[in-house]
Amino acid sequence: MKTLIKKTYEDLSKEAAKIIKEAIQEKPNLVLGLATGSTPIGTYKELIRMHREENLDFSQVISFNLDEYLGLSADHHQSYNYFMYKNLFDYININHKNIHIPDGMTENVEEFLKEYEKKIREAGGIDLQLLGIGSDGHIGFNEPGTPLNSRTQIVKLTESTIKDNSRFFEKEEDVPRFAITMGVQTIFEAKKTLLLASSGNKAEAIVKFIEGPITSQITASILQKHPDTIVILDEVAASRLKRRY
């Protein structure tokens, strides 16, 4: 695992976008795993700029999103589907047929979960998976206690995640209690992973994930074993690390 510490969120976002750009240039039909939340927004802004100013071409890229709230339709303004279009897809030339986001309104959940895994396999597996981390150490929505060998599944959100995400909703009660997420093992199988974290409320999760034991209580900790993981932190998120890498 390689850890890069950047001065600011802007520097972190630029570095992440540069890594994604290079991967697309190397493999134009890159299978790109994407994430939502506040953290990747700066990276998406920079990718949009690269598309506009540097002709970064997304036309053959195939995307798979990590997760979606169960019960929110694609056009709900807090759905991750809506987020992805408003923060990235509406501004780049990705072929909409190549976009995959879990369907929060699926009627046949079990079938959907299997299909999602199958589509990832058929695309040849994820080449590069972008990740955030929850203040409870989750990746995707894989909350503490989720088995490390889990595949795409339904999960119940923890109180801390509901609290963290309530800032996007009118009231805490409006935050959905369940979500569909790629499993820990599904994420681990990506050929390369790129985890971003900025701001102080992540500092504790960062120390546990990088310096603590590998445990299902901090699902991000599985990445310690991943052969090609880059972690990009800003100074504040890195502030509790005992060792600078």
Considering 143, 164, 226, 234, which one is annotated as catalytic? 143
Site map 33..72 versus ligand PGA, x via CB under 6 A: ----xxx---------------------------------
Give the E-state strand segments of 83-210 in sequence order.
99-100, 128-131, 153-156, 178-181, 192-197
Q: Alpha helix (H) ranges present in 77-158?
A: 80-87, 109-122
Considering 138, 164, 226, 234, which one is annotated as catalytic? 138
Which residues, in sequence order, are CB contacts of 159 under 8 Å at separation 6+? Answer: none
In this complex, which beta carbon is closest to ligand PGA, that of residue 40 or of residue 59?
40
Closest distance of CB 87 from ligand PGA, Å? 12
Q: Is 102 in the site for ligand PGA (CB under 6 A)?
A: no
How far is Cα 139 from Cα 133, in angstroms, rounded to an integer?
5
The yes-or-no answer on residue 67 being catalytic is yes
Closest distance of CB 225 from ligand PGA, Å? 20
How many angstroms from the chain centroid is the CA of residue 218? 15
How far is Cα 134 from Cα 146, in angstroms, rounded to an integer?
14
Closest distance of CB 220 from ligand PGA, Å? 9
- Round the CA-based radius of gyration of the chain to a whole number and report it: 17
How far is Cα 241 from Cα 245, in angstroms, rounded to an integer?
9
Closest distance of CB 76 from ligand PGA, Å? 17
Which residues, in sequence order, are CB contacts of 33 under 8 Å at separation 6+? Answer: 63, 64, 65, 66, 126, 128, 129, 130, 131, 182, 187, 190
In this complex, which beta carbon is closest to ligand PGA, that of residue 37 or of residue 176?
37
How many angstroms from the chain centroid is the CA of residue 137? 13
How far is Cα 1 from Cα 243, in angstroms, rounded to an integer?
13
Residues in contact with ligand PGA, counted by CB under 6 A, come to a total of 6
In this complex, which beta carbon is closest to ligand PGA, that of residue 29 or of residue 78?
78
The yes-or-no answer on residue 143 being catalytic is yes
Closest distance of CB 131 from ligand PGA, Å? 7
In this complex, which beta carbon is closest to ligand PGA, that of residue 38 or of residue 166?
38
Q: Which of residues 120-139 bind ligand PGA (CB under 6 A)?
A: 132-134
Considering 46, 68, 127, 136, which one is annotated as catalytic? 136
In this complex, which beta carbon is closest to ligand PGA, that of residue 95 or of residue 201?
201
Catalytic residues: 67, 136, 138, 143
Residues at the contact surface with ligand PGA, assessed by CB under 6 A: 37-39, 132-134
